């Protein structure tokens, strides 16, 4: 389906779009902020007007962005696209209709921990023994992290997770690597490019016990509310 056809479907059925944008929670610490809007009007095949933004201060943050990600569900599929060419006018945003859509396989809400209250991951590696990593993002069944190390563990293993909830909750979970983005030697040599500063990125799929899954879910929900309050400017 072409993007303009998808947007027309969203307009005809009054379906919501979830927006994701960079939000500076603390100086130098950028996380992902989220909000909701609807399609109000389609201008030919090139531009679209979006309105009904929630939370109410969402427009304030989007006005400082050059682009944002739009995620929506349609006919049983979840799609993602980048919205660019933004023009904030009153309570609406006019943007370019993207040239393509991609599907998303994520099933669970994912949040990024705060600097003051990180989520820690512990893995026993064959090369380095037990190593701790600061979580970049976390969901009920997944976690991502950056590291300067090269982590190579095949199959399913046991990891430890420390959540900053209820005076720090520690739990164990089965896990497996499902995503790896390791730097090449050429990339490692480019010291001055900030995109490489964080090193390799790894994504884990988690298989926690049902009771531990509840603990992770509770943390994710509380953190999501915390981020929403930040968008609203409540603290």
- The second-level CATH assignment, the architecture, of 3-103 is Roll (2.30)
Residue 137 structure tokens: 């993002």
Domain boundaries, the chain: 3-103, 120-231
Which of these, 94, 153, 146, lies nearest to 123 by C-alpha position?
Answer: 153
pLDDT digits (tens, 9 = 90+) for 110-160: 999 999 999 999 999 999 999 999 999 999 999 999 999 999 899 999 999
pTM of the model: 0.82
State phi, psi for 108 to the nearest 5 degrees: -125, 150
Going from the C-alpha of 32 to that of each of 47, 112, 228, the distances in angstroms are 25, 7, 10
- The second-level CATH assignment, the architecture, of 120-231 is Beta Barrel (2.40)
Q: In the chain, which stretches have pLDDT less than 50?
A: 191-196, 235
């Amino acid at each position: 389906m072409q993007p303009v056809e998808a947007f027309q479907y969203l307009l005809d059925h009054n379906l919501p779009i979830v927006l994701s944008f960079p939000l500076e929670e603390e100086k130098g610490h950028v996380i992902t902020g989220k909000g909701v809007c609807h399609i109000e009007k389609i201008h030919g095949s090139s531009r679209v007007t979006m309105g009904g933004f929630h939370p109410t201060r969402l427009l304030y943050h989007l006005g400082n962005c050059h682009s944002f990600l739009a995620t929506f569900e349609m006919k049983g599929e979840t799609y993602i696209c980048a919205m660019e060419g933004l023009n904030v006018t009153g309570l609406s945003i006019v943007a370019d209709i993207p040239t393509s859509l991609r599907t998303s396989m994520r099933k669970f809400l994912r949040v990024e921990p705060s600097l003051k209250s990180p989520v820690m991951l512990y893995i026993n590696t064959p090369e380095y023994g037990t190593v701790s990593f600061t979580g970049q993002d976390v969901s009920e069944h997944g976690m991502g992290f950056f590291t300067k190390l090269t982590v190579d563990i095949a199959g399913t293993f046991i990891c430890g997770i420390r959540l900053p909830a209820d005076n720090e909750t520690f739990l164990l979970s089965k896990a497996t690597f499902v995503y790896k983005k390791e730097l090449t030697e050429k990339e490692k040599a480019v010291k001055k490019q900030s995109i490489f500063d964080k090193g390799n990125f790894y994504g884990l799929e988690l298989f926690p016990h049902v009771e531990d899954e509840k603990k992770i879910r509770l943390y994710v929900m509380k953190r999501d509310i915390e981020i929403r309050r930040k968008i609203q400017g409540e603290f």
